[in-house]
């Protein structure tokens, strides 16, 4: 069991498969990209599957989320999913993706055992998409979403970040579109995970701003804490149901008290929090032929030291050194 000193138990594992991405989102990385991890530093497919096996079999992990960077850029992704699906007990598996390439891979991922996807899409306007991502790939994302829905990777969740002066006026339109398409929309407050450290608390679009905008067109009824559990998103029933919309308010409404996540970076480091500044190295143990029991011990010790909160509610919060692409969302 992965328990910390505050009694929280981690049952949800986020696995970053690569630090690379084929977009250059302004809130994530600079236009010129980043210095990518060298291939020898990345975990191999076998190493990833071994660590997930230890987590599921020995440490009580029940859900595995594959992230990046952009996980669809990982050549062995389908094979990794297929192997994890054969574990006993079988974990629930999901994927967070920008949707580019999902059109051609959705069916294969479903057949391999993937349960559902989260797709990032911040705007319905192609010109705004290009301004936000520095790429002309809006139509590819829409086709990827359609392919995920057709493949049965449901519920298909759409993750949206609103940025001042770019797409901050789109919340109602995005929700109307998501309801029409049968997607579950989740707004995410912009978080301080950009490599260029351009994030500023002042001026960010808050959960309160998002909800106020949505209520100009929709009636929102809180779903309630019992339904939420340890999920990061607060959810509201839209116009009496059945559709729902979520808001992940990591900055203004931290949910650390109910956190059940542990994170594995693409180069084999354990992070107890997305915003942690410390990591615990599992790759070295793997490559020194440590037995599974020793790797599990190291992992449990790392989680035992998890802090009470992310620190985001502290105005003097120090941004983590690694950008989102290297950590996994």
The binding site comprises: 14, 21, 25, 27-28, 65, 69, 96, 120, 157, 191, 256, 259, 261-263, 273
Which tokens go with 11? Answer: 């049952």
The binding site for GTP comprises: 14, 65, 96, 157, 261-263
pTM for this prediction:
0.90
The binding site for S-adenosyl-L-methionine comprises: 27, 69, 120, 191
The binding site for [4Fe-4S] cluster comprises: 21, 25, 28, 256, 259, 273
Q: What is the pLDDT of residue 23?
A: 84
259 Cβ neighbours under 8 A, 6+ residues apart = 8, 10, 230, 273
Q: At what angle do helices 171-181 and 207-214 cross, to 10 degrees?
A: 70
> What are the residue ranges in the chain where pLDDT is below 70?
30-34, 191-203, 225-230, 310-329
Would you list the domain boundaries of the chain?
Answer: 2-326
Fold of 2-326: TIM Barrel (3.20.20)
* Contact predicate 194/29, CB 8 Å: yes
43 φ, ψ (degrees, to nearest 5): -65, 140
């Amino acid at each position: 069991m992965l328990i910390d000193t505050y009694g929280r138990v981690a049952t949800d594992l986020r696995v970053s498969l690569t630090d690379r991405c084929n977009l250059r989102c302004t809130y994530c990385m600079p236009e010129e990209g980043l210095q990518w991890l060298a291939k020898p530093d990345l975990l191999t497919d076998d190493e990833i599957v071994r660590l997930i096996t230890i987590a599921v079999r020995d440490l009580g992990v029940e859900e595995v989320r594959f992230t990046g960077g952009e996980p669809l850029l990982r050549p062995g992704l389908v094979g990794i999913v297929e192997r994890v699906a054969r574990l006993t007990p079988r974990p629930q598996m999901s994927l967070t993706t920008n949707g580019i390439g999902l059109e051609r891979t959705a069916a294969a991922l479903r057949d391999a055992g993937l349960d559902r996807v989260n797709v990032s899409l911040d705007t319905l306007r192609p010109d705004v998409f290009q301004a936000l991502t520095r790429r002309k790939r809006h139509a590819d994302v829409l086709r990827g979403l359609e392919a995920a829905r057709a493949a049965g990777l449901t519920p298909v969740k759409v993750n949206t970040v609103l940025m001042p002066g770019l797409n901050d006026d789109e919340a109602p339109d995005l929700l109307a579109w998501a309801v029409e398409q049968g997607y579950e929309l989740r707004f995410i407050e912009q978080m301080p995970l950009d490599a260029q450290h351009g994030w500023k608390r002042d001026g960010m679009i808050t959960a309160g701003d998002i909800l106020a905008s949505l209520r100009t067109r929709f009636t929102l009824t809180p779903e309630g804490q019992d339904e939420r559990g340890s999920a990061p998103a607060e959810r509201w029933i839209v116009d009496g149901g059945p559709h729902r919309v979520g808001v992940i308010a990591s900055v203004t409404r931290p949910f650390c008290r109910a956190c059940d996540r542990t994170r594995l970076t693409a180069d084999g480091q354990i992070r107890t929090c997305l915003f942690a500044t410390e990591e615990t190295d599992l790759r070295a143990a793997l490559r020194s032929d440590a037995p599974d029991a020793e790797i599990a011990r190291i992992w449990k010790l790392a989680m035992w030291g998890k802090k009470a909160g992310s620190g985001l509610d502290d105005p003097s919060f120090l941004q983590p050194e690694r950008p989102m692409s290297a950590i996994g969302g």
